[in-house]
Structure 1
Amino acid sequence: MADNTSTANSPAGTPPTTSTATVAIPGTAGTTAIATPGNNNNTINPASVAVPKKPTATLGRPPGSTNEPRNKRKKYVFAKELKQLMFGFGDVPNPANDAVGVLEDMLIEYLTDTCTQAAAVADKRGKVNVEDFKFVLRKDAKKRARVDELLYMNEDIRRAKRIADIPELDSSKGGAKDAPI
């Protein structure tokens, strides 16, 4: 957007009119500056640059997400499990806390991004379900297969619990005790 007035046709005794342009500064969303032709070298007056405030909201992410510094959220939430995983994949039995911290940061960032993507898919319904996570992981065959395997195992366990809840035969009365047919 520019507001330009011509100086080429101004009479000799009149002062030239100024030209201003609103310029968007790359890398700073919503920040503009006024460029004035002071010496025709297309510089931007630093005094006119509006510095954006630090955003207070984090795009719908909960506190403790990866947008906040590590010292503001709980440290080493998954440390025990990550140490075991690292050892299982060939690391030393007691890995350095820095390595565990870096891996935990990566894990939390991945989980947050995956949950955010699933929430974006479920935005119209308002509730995130398993199908939303399947949709987010649709291009990663290995992860999608693991999700399907875990869901199958969960259903298998649920069926086994249902079978275990059937009352046993009561031998003293010679019949089934409230057994469903």
Structure 2
Amino acid sequence: MEKTDGQRLIESRRTIRMFTEGTIETKELYDLLASAHQAPFHNKIEPWNAYLFNGDGKEVLLDALEPAFTDGPEAKREKVAGRIRNAAACIYVTTKPFETEKDKKDALLATATFIQNFHLLCSERDIGLVWRTGGIFEDARLQEMIGADGETFVGLLQLGRFEDVPPTKRRQSIDSCLTIFE
């Protein structure tokens, strides 16, 4: 059976960590985010928030990270700051606060779907993306400085143009994790 465009897109998607110099227009990212925003969710409102730092706007993110940097080694600061500066743009993605564990879980899963939609759309436009989680980006001082206080950090997306596509990683067969009942 011939693969669909969607199958080819999913199978060709790669995490890109090294970017070339260059910019990505805010309008292009806005349009991709608007399409990714069609992700399914289980509450009355979309549970995600996205904070876009493009071009010189990345300095706002670096300034907001400064308090968190003071708590760690200089090498960590240089590594994280270098990655942010290397990217054309960064998007800080959170979930809105919810009361129940079920609603929090639903929000997290829906937000992950929003990010995956965005990643696939970026891949289609030859925009590289790496999704970073945890660590310094969960700092409450950072969240307060960008207006995300009280929200749950889900990922920092670093975006940019690229030349080298990483090879396909070997995957286990779907048979290793699929049980079929017919």
TM-score in terms of structure 1 length: 0.23
- The higher-RCO structure (CA 8 Å, 6+ apart) is 2
- The structure in which a higher percent of residues are helix is 2
TM-score for the superposition, normalised by structure 2: 0.23
Q: Computing the radius of gyration over CA atoms, which structure comes out larger, 1 or 2?
A: 1
The answer to which structure has the higher strand fraction is: 2
